[in-house]
Structure 1
């Protein structure tokens, strides 16, 4: 699993050629450089349940692009939570 802060670092970093996702990062940089306004920012998974749900679901799929004709019941629930602004607390354990 890839945390979004790590993904942002990979996408916005200057050199990605040696990273295992370097090719995808290069393609994303190309898209970001097109004539449109795009903001890239970190969002904690607790504040975007729908994206987290899809990211977890993606681990069960083969590599590539996938589309769905019907909204998964679990995804519908998280979309409603995200629209309503419902979040969950995040527990961070200090190990030092």
Structure 2
């Protein structure tokens, strides 16, 4: 999902019947704790590590997963993000 839509759901969704309502409520509980949190939109071209994890998430069963070792490919994307290296994305158009 686009991160702007995720931010809107996390910050504004009050309907537990919404398909992401329970998750939004849990995020709101975390945000209301006594700490400083900043939420902002980041284009995926500037955050390849998160994009890699989101795509990898489609390959595993639903639920929480914990890894003891960083995937080498993720490590490469983290390094690129830290260094500020931008990458173009190729999008194949199905329209002629």
Q: Tell me the TM-score normalised to structure 1 length.
A: 0.85
Q: What are the equivalent positions in structure 2 for 1:1-96 lying under 5 Å apart?
A: 2-89=1-88
How many equivalent pairs are there? 92
Offset from partner CA, 1:35-76 (integer Å, 9 cap, x none): 000011110111010011011111112222111111112101
Find the residue that maps to 2:59 and give its secondary structure. coil
Gaps (5+ residues) in structure 2?
91-96
- Deviating beyond 4 angstroms after TM superposition, the runs of 4 or more aligned structure 1 residues are none
Gaps (5+ residues) in structure 1?
92-96
Higher-RCO chain (CA-CA 8 Å, sequence separation at least 6): 1
Structure 1 residues 71 and 14, CA, compared in 2 at 3 Å: closer, same or farther?
closer
Q: Tell me the TM-score normalised to structure 2 length.
A: 0.85
Alpha carbons 1:10, 1:16 under 8 Å: kept: no
State the Cα distance separating 1:89 from its structure 2 match.
Answer: 4.0
